[in-house]
Structure formats: structure tokens, C-alpha cells
Structure 1
């Protein structure tokens, strides 16, 4: 009998201890917190690798749902005009930006606009027309910041030639050398190997917009280099540049000002160690510059892959007045009722952007209409509104402006109409714009910006006198 009582007593103690552990030490494993892949998340084989790659390579960006901190909805006045939604903070920044543009000539400075985007803006599409309209209104000229290599001849705004000693490194290349980590603002750079002579030539492009054809100031940006670098430049076989740069652990900027408008210059770069050229800026003496930074096949600017110090340093040297982000093309084939994964990826990029370039106004250009063939009929993707809403809500949450390109071009079905126009405004893939379509999209955005400028100052366009870029060079 005593033995039975002892067993019962021990049994009760064990049950009590187990209950206490469950009560005071909550179990972290909860089956309902597991996130299994949605089989409907990826429906397009061509783009499936891209989305899977985003989820794997950017795994640090994807937080478990139960750890997501949802920011409280803040009260704000959002001014909407011509499909451009502007929160109050952005409008304050926009006024300061306008003041910088209006005084650029007086201060003899160049104020820059960075236009980041995917293949929708590749080859300077859309950007070239934004640049021309801004330079018409606020002065300035030149094609802006570019990579010195253009192997596919996609940029109509500047003519670039090079010898075969260069290697192009792109941030979106899956086979990129991750050990170097020397990506700056452009997300790509030109690499010349040890003891080789790298040559590249810059010339005015006959296909450039009128203002973009003319440049007079050239800035070359080099990544940190472990040996001295010799840079030579020639115009029609006459040497005009012969500089030797010491080794440097920081960003190096070389700045040349030419009396000749749009000189055609052959550069030679040589060092006993490899040299990475991060970009070349072709500008006027003052006014506005608009830079095209296109990352083909990407859903975000991939800022987490850049070198933060180089990115910030280039930003400080380039006097950035505004940033335009234009992404979404590569998410279009992903049909899902929940774009939370994309929201998180964008949010991480927005955080980095506001860290790297603080107090710079950001304008997000939303996804355009796109279509696919369904049972022999070409129809717009029905989920584009959900994707658009995700972009817009997040942009406004970060006090970015949002331009609704989807609605501006006519909403559902508009891409089909654009393709049927003569000349066509869109390509037959029913996703990308033609050059003419890029011009129309740029005009929509410029009209909206001008409207907000005018409402801020309660004055019309006649108040602003466009500066002839040639007049700037005579000062």
C-alpha cells in the first residue's frame, strides 16, 4: 500500500512539473506560424527563377509573419493631381527641390535626378524625354551619369566605344564576383585587369535629344584602387589629359571642364593593379541632369548589394535633388492575391534608400498596364490593380510620391490600344513601351510634376524662363 502511494505521489509531482513548464515557458514552435509556399505564387515559367531568386538570395529581407511589425496608419493630407499622389512631406521636399533647380544657374551647380528602373526604362527609354523636358525648363544639358561601356549600343543619348580589355560587372549578374563589392550608384562598373590598357571613347550621339547632345563637364568615378592609376585623354590625336592618381582607399572623382562643347575624347587607363570605373557624368556647367539607371530583369534597385560607402560617396558628389523609382514589370507575371512578399522586398530597399540618401524626395512610378493571351484573346492581367495598390500604399507610407502610370495610360486594356496605335506606343509583348510610348509616359509624369510645381507657387509656366544651355558655357 505504501509503495502504491509513493508511486502516485511521484506521478503527481511529474505532472505538476510538466504543467508548470508549459505554463511558465511558452513553446516557441507553433504549427500555424509556418509559411508554406503558395502553389499559385508563380505561374509564369520564364519569371519563376527571378521570383525564387529574390526569395532565396534576399532571404534576409523576408521576415516571418509573426515577427512583422505593422506601422500604425498615420493621418496625412495627400494631394492628388494628374495621377500623382503627394503626401505633405514630399510636397515640402518638392518645394525645396524646385528652389534648387531655379537657382542652379545662379549658383553654377548641377542638380541631379536619378531615374532607377527595370527594363521598361532600359536604353534611356522614358528617361531621355524626362531629361529633355527638365532641361528645357530649368536649363542644363548632357546625357548625365553613364557606365563607360555600352556593348549592346542601347543608349541613344551618348556614343560609347571601347577596346576589348574591359570586363562589365553588373549587380544583377548571378555569376558576379561578390568578393569585390565595389558597386556604386549605377549598379555596374567597368573593370580593367592588371597591367592592361583600357580604352574608351566618348562622343556626341546624333540620336540624342537636343539638350542631351551637349556636354562640357566630364566627371570620372573610380573605386578604391591599390596602386597608382595613369589616365590619358586625346582629342583628334592631341593629348589633352595626362594625370597620375595615387592609390586610394576611397572613391576618387576626376573632374575636367572643356571649352569645347561635346568633345570627342579617347581615354586610356592603366595601372599595375585592377581598376574599377564606376561611371562617367557628362553634364553642363549648371542646370539639371537626369540619369538613367536601368537594371534589367529586377524588381527593385538591389541596394543591399551595393557598397554602402561608395553609394553614399557618389551621392554626396553628385548633388542629388530627386529620385525616381520605376519597378514592377518583372512582378507582373506573378499572379497572387497577396503581394506581401514584394512589399517586404520594396520596404527593405526604401529603408536603405532613405539611409543612403536622406532628405531626398522620392517619386515612385507604378506598374503600367500589361496583357497576355487568354484563349486566343489578348487581355490585361486582372491582378495588376492589386500590385498597383501594394506599391502605392507602401510608397505613401514612406512619404514618397506615387505616380499611377496604370491609370494615366488608361487602365485595363490600355496596353492593347497602345500596341495598336500608329506608330505603336507599345511592343507586341504587351508589356514594354516603344520609344514613342516612352515619350508619352514621360509626358504624363512631367505634366503631373509641373502641375504640382505650379500649385505650390500659384504661378504658371511662363514664370520660368528656359535657359539656353549654350548661354551657360559663355559665362
Structure 2
């Protein structure tokens, strides 16, 4: 029976479309043509064939229909391509001719602040595209939602939303900030809104996926905002000719099992709370909820009334680590959707896009259900994004502007009345086009007129307003977007990249609105990107370029710092990328010390046998003799220390190399027993003069092959002090030393014996010194910023003079401290450190890169802690291995982008005075 019904519907659709196409080609006025021409110019035959014949006959999949109204008027028609990206040009095609991107934003204040480095890189691409397309940054018109007796505005239209975001940022809110975004087909596949959601969650924390349909409400489109349901669901939508009256609220779609068992499945990784939206009705059945195949709960959907049906909800907690949630019905059941949340503070952004959606369509919702569903979500903001279909109907003389005005007035009033404490934002329709009978594409009338009405009704109703039409570029922008591959052939729907651009513009408008209402928690200028590289890294970039051209040379990089460096996670990720591009010249320096799992990934192992004391410079008096990491391992007689490089690596024919051993030799002490790969090393050659004081000694041993083990044994009649070892190959490429001491500051490195440090660092032959201090300085309530600037600059100058190396400073990550109530705030000296280090870089002639800005700026640590998987450590100071890897990726991307710009002779950003 279902097959016959589907076949009948398909034949009807073919005849309907054929008739519409025939009328479109007939010599009638454009306003009476049901479907505009399908190409900018030229023959339309192939497009007509593609529309009339099924994809199975043409070998092509169906295109998105030329307007939202076709979906509403022709149920069963393919609504959206399954994956729009597949139809769009290659991902980089639209930007192929774009000018080179700046290393940092060139227009402060447009809303690019607080984006992590990967997101910022994508945002800069979209900025380049925006400039080329003539799209505009348009501020949200805040309007007034609450006025005083004297007429003065007490609260603007976005205030509840921006206030809630500020509470998230200040860590005073323990519930999610929810947004309910209602719209038409422009967001039915979650384009536009996915960009906004991702960025809001990045800036303020992710609260979960939000509301999702039971299964796709249309026969095509992305699955991102729905479960994957079985085939037997009966689907009724507000946009249908016979919509589900008196049952459905703003969710807009009813999914019924009609007595048979149906199911759907969701990916719930990271979610801890699920809420089922359903219709409670007489004689209704039940829904079994299962997590990872195990039954969790059964929800009875029967209502208390024997005659009345009403919207209802069931909330369940999901076990930690849950991966999938399955719903299975029993009996007659009607479901509306499921919301998924993390249970933690953050942004939850619900998207409900109805194909053919209009203000009038959402007004079809049963008022009580609309109210119940909206109040259940407790939104901080409701977004109304319709107008495209209103403009289409108006352009065809099938509605009037008065009707459009009344419908939007009523929808705004319904939203305000149902959730009076929520902000509301009304958006104008975007520009669209039509085609003349000759095939010429021209702007479609109606978009601006409808947008003007929406602006007036938003102001009158106390809602904010965003002019998407002007942001897109105004009249004719749809034609320009079509030419650039940003618009589908229907001249109504943007492709994925065009939708990304619209989402980018809306997000930045929201960020500017938030910035106007929110004072920074710490007053700093924390600029993203690599600054000052074109002047500070000339020799480094030259060596990289020569190496890439085939010259056999070594690029030495030594990174000095605290625990971020000592963990090795960051430097391992950076080394891997650079070595793949420029060659691998060896592991470099490994400090003496205890066994550490942090070295496992790099196949490095340390072992201590016997009586050893591992000392560090943190609590020692100034001036001590230490290894490059501020550590020394002191062994009693007979004690043995082993450092193994490339543990478990297969034997391979590699060029020769050298293994260096760093020790602290004592006057009159016997030489240690040293073996390399099990072979005793020959005795040391006599020194020209006996040692008069403890002295750093670097012994070099020739080796070949990738894997080597050096063992140091203290003589029976004395001890030994080992500082570390290094391995390099006689191959061109990169050597990157990780020289970090947990808890260290730049003052600790300053206070170590200068000659010992300079000697060891010079032996490492660095071309580039990377300094990553500041995170621990930020925790010093009594920090003297002037002393930090003076002494850190002098330290860098001394080490540069000793090594003749260039330099790059890395600023601190975001550092937070937690009080007794569990509330987070900035480390006491974070602001002065962030303001001082760029000046140190400028004074010392170094490039500068802000790790905090790359994380996303203000309170980014809090958000990194709450992501899935977590990127920030619970201590508010360190990152997880995944977090260090992500930060390293951001650093390498900016470093190589500056290198590429330098090769092309393009300036990078300079370090600015604060």
C-alpha cells in the first residue's frame, strides 16, 4: 500500500513539475511564471530533464528545488541534496584566487577576538571571501525590550542573551545558555547555524548538541540535526497541506509509529542528559531508551486525560561514556524530538529549519504546545529566521506586505509572551534572484521589502534585528554569489561555502554585540598570530628555504621553558610536523632524570639503577651548576643511569651521527664508566690542566643507526653527576630540543650559572631559541612586571650573544585559579604578564606568539577543560595531551604561514606597543 501511495505521489509530482515547467517557458509575465529559468543564460533543456526525471534515470541526484515553496506545495519532492558539499565546487575553489591572508586580523573589533587559532584561520579565509564578494559587517540593531516610565531604554533586545553569556564567562552560571533558532530551508541542513553554534561553544563552552529530530523530516539533506530512524516513521510537518493540527509546537514535525514498532539512534558521545519530546495522548504506547544496546528506561507516553493530547517531556540521565542512544517504540506513539546536553554550563544551540518555513507556518503550531515546548527549553534567546518564502510569495503576487507584517507581528508576540525573559532576534531574508524567459538572471523583488517590515516589527516587539540582506551585499548579491559558486542554480539557496560566510557574518555580529555589553575580565591586548617574524626570524626562514630547496643543512631549535615544554607533548607535535617537511636530523637533547611516560611516544626511555638523587634549580640558591633543563642527577658509587633513544625502532641503514653525553665533572673525581650500545667507551683524554672547580663536560661518541643507548656508571670510589644526553644524525633536517623544568620561570633560568648554561646551549648549535615562560610568573601575586621585562630581556640578549641565534617568545596559556566554592578566576598576575611579554619580545628583537590567544583568549582554559575530549587539565594550568597537540598545531600553522609570507616578501604583523 505504501509503495502504491509513493508511486502515485511520484507520478503526480512529475506531472505537476512538468506543467509548472511548461508554464515557466510560456510567453507569460515573469510574475506569473511558477518556476524561474534554471540557468543564468543559454539552453535550459538539461536542467529541465534533471528536474522531471528521477535521479535513477538521469544518473544524477536531484538538485535543491528553486524555492522553499516548491517543497511546501509539492510534498514528497526531494528537498535538499543529501550532502550539499558534494554538489559544491572543490573546498578551496572559491578561495583559489583570494589574496594572501594576513597573519593576524587587520581590522580589530569586527568580532574575530576570542577565536582559537584553527577557527581563526578559517575565519580569516571567510574574511578574504567576504571582501571579494562585497559582503558587509552589519551590526545587530539591539532595539529596546524594556523601557522605563520616562521612555529611556532599560534593557536592549539581546540583553538576556549577552547577560547569560557573561555569566558563563565569569563562571557564575551553572546552567546552559540555550538558543532556539527557528527558520526555513536555509538552515534545514544546519548550514549557517553550524558555524554560529561552533563558535559560540568555542568562546563560551559547549553545552551539548541540543534539539534533534527523530529522523530526517525530508527525504534528503544532512543527518546532523536528527537521529537515524527506521524507514517506517509516518512524518507530518507544519508545512504540509494537511499539517498536524492541535499537536505540534515550534518543533514543527510529528513522527508517528502508527502502532508498529519504529526506532531511531543517536550518537551521544559527551552527552549526559537526554530529553524526549513527545505527544501525551490517550491509549498511547511506550518508548524504550537503550544506551549502547542496554535498556536504560521505558517511557510511557499515555496522557492523564482520556480525551486531550498535549506536549510532554521525559528527561533521562545518560551514563558516563555513553556512545549511542536508541529509541524503540511499542504501540501507537508520536514523538517530536530529543535534546542532548552535556549537563555542564555552556551554549546549547537548537536548530529547527522547516522546508517552506514562514512566520505563518510557525503560527500554525498548536499554541499550547508551542508554549510548552519553548518554556521547556528555557531559552536565553529565540532567533526567527524566515522571510525568504514570504518574499517569494510577494514577488509572485500571492501575498501582500500587510499580510507579511501581521504574520511576523503575531509570531514575535507569541515568542515574547511565551518566554518573556528570553531575548529575541529577528533576521531579514537574504537576497535572491529570478530568471527571465531569455534565461537572464535578475534580482528578485521582495527581499528588501520583507526585510524592512521585519525590522519594523522587531523594533515594535522588543526584539533585536539583523539585516542579513545588507550583510550579504544587498540587491544583486545573489547573482554575484552564483558566479562565484556560492549559490545554487536556483538563486535562492546558498551552497555550503556561502552558508558558512553567512554564519560567519552572523557570528561576528553576535560577538560585537556581546563585546559592547561585556568588559574584559583582564584588560590586556592579547593578539593572535605570530608577530614580528619578518624581522626577527630572517635567518631561520632563510635556512628553512634553503633546506627546502635541497641544501644539506641542519636547523637547530632549542625551546626553553617550564612544564608546557617539559611535558614533551607540545614539542613532539611540532617536531613531527617540521621533520616531515624539512627532514629529521635526530631527537636532540634529553635531560637526565627519572623514568617518564611522557617520553614513551617519542620512543625515549630513562632508567635509574642504584642510589640516585634528582635535583632541580627551583629551590636551590642562585648560581648553581645545572643542566639545560635545570636538572641534575647525582649518583652514588656504583649507581647507573641509562638513556635510550629510539627504543624499539627497527634496525635501519642511516648515516653516521653522534651521541653527546653531558656531565658535571668534579675536581679530583674518577671518570665515570660510559658504554654506548653496550660497548665500553675509551678513557677520556687527559685534560690540559686538572679541574679546579666543578665543570660542565660534553663528551661526543660517533654512532650509526637510529637506536642507541648510553649508560653512565659511577665509579666505585666516587659519584657522578649527569645532566643529559643528545642524539643527532649526520642528515639534513630539524633538531628540536625540549628544555623544560616544571614550575620554572624566566627568573630561574636567569639565576642558573651563566657560564654553564651558555656552554651547554652553545653546544646545541641552535639557530632559533624559543622561550616559553610566563605561565608560572602569572601565578605570582607579587610579580614585579618591570623586573620581569628588564631581566628577561637581558637573559635573552645574553643567550643570543652566546649562540648567535634568533629568538621567538611564546606567551603563557590561559591560567585560572579555583576558589573554595569551585569558581574559577584569572591567575593574579596574568594581566601584567600578558602585557609585559610582547614588550620583552620587542626589546630583545624576538618574534612573539600568544598561546592564550591561540587557545581563544579570555577564559579559554575553562572552555578547554569542558570540551570532549578535555583539552585543559582540571588544575587550570596545564593542558591534556590532546590540548598540547592542538596548541602545537596552531603554533606550527602560524609559524609556517609566516614562513610562507616571508618567502613571498609579504610582511607579517609586528609586535605592537601596549
More relative contact order, 1 or 2 (CA 8 Å, 6+ apart): 1
Match of 2:706 in 1: 261
Q: 1:383 to 1:261 in 2, by over 3 A?
A: closer
Q: Are the counterparts in 2 of residues 101 and 288 from structure 1 also a CA contact under 8 Å? A: no
Q: What are the equivalent positions in structure 2 for 1:43-122 lying under 5 Å apart?
A: 83-86=529-532, 89-98=535-544, 106-107=552-553, 110-122=554-566
Match of 2:722 in 1: 277
Q: Are the counterparts in 2 of residues 104 and 111 from structure 1 also a CA contact under 8 Å? A: no
Q: Are the counterparts in 1 of residues 533 and 847 from structure 2 also a CA contact under 8 Å? A: yes
Q: 1:285 to 1:198 in 2, by over 3 A?
A: farther
Q: Are the counterparts in 2 of residues 189 and 278 from structure 1 also a CA contact under 8 Å? A: yes
The answer to whether structure 1 residue 390 and structure 2 residue 833 are counterparts is no
Shift of 1:234: 5.7
Q: 1:97 to 1:275 in 2, by over 3 A?
A: farther
Q: Are the counterparts in 1 of residues 800 and 807 from structure 2 also a CA contact under 8 Å? A: no
Greater mean deviation of Cα atoms: 126-135 or 242-251 = 242-251
Partner of 1:133, secondary structure, is: helix
Match of 1:351 among 787, 794, 805: 794
Distance 1:263 1:342 in 2: 45
Distance 2:550 2:686 in 1: 33
- Per the normalisation by structure 1, the TM-score is 0.67
The answer to whether structure 1 residue 187 and structure 2 residue 633 are counterparts is no
Match of 1:132 among 576, 581, 592: 576
Match of 2:805 in 1: 360
Match of 2:869 in 1: 423
Match of 2:912 in 1: none
Unaligned runs of 5+ in 2: 1-525, 650-654, 907-914
- Per the normalisation by structure 2, the TM-score is 0.37
Distance 1:350 1:423 in 2: 38
Greater mean deviation of Cα atoms: 363-372 or 377-386 = 377-386
Shift of 1:244: 3.5
Distance 2:685 2:836 in 1: 48
The answer to whether structure 1 residue 369 and structure 2 residue 814 are counterparts is yes
Q: Are the counterparts in 2 of residues 343 and 394 from structure 1 also a CA contact under 8 Å? A: no
Shift of 1:134: 1.8
Distance 2:879 2:584 in 1: 27
Shift of 1:427: 1.0
Q: Are the counterparts in 2 of residues 183 and 305 from structure 1 also a CA contact under 8 Å? A: no
The answer to whether structure 1 residue 243 and structure 2 residue 700 are counterparts is no
Q: 1:276 to 1:410 in 2, by over 3 A?
A: same
Q: 1:322 to 1:332 in 2, by over 3 A?
A: same
Match of 2:643 in 1: 202
Match of 1:42 in 2: none
Match of 1:342 in 2: 785
Shift of 1:389: 1.5
Distance 2:665 2:645 in 1: 29
Shift of 1:293: 1.6
Q: Are the counterparts in 2 of residues 380 and 412 from structure 1 also a CA contact under 8 Å? A: no
Match of 2:674 in 1: 232
Greater mean deviation of Cα atoms: 223-232 or 417-426 = 223-232
The Cα offsets for residues 353-379 of structure 1, whole Å up to 9 and x where unpaired, read as: 322332421111112123344665445
Distance 2:785 2:546 in 1: 34
Unaligned runs of 5+ in 1: 1-79, 209-213, 461-475
Shift of 1:230: 4.2
Distance 2:548 2:646 in 1: 28
Q: Cα RMSD (Å) of the superposition?
A: 3.4
Match of 1:220 among 661, 665, 670: 661
Match of 1:145 in 2: 589
Partner of 1:278, secondary structure, is: strand
Q: 1:92 to 1:261 in 2, by over 3 A?
A: closer
Match of 1:438 among 884, 895, 901: 884
Q: Are the counterparts in 2 of residues 230 and 243 from structure 1 also a CA contact under 8 Å? A: no
Q: How many residues of Structure 1 are paired with residues of Structure 2 in the alignment?
A: 364
Shift of 1:283: 2.4
The Cα offsets for residues 313-345 of structure 1, whole Å up to 9 and x where unpaired, read as: 223322111111112222334458xx6x13413
Match of 2:442 in 1: none
Q: Are the counterparts in 2 of residues 116 and 301 from structure 1 also a CA contact under 8 Å? A: no
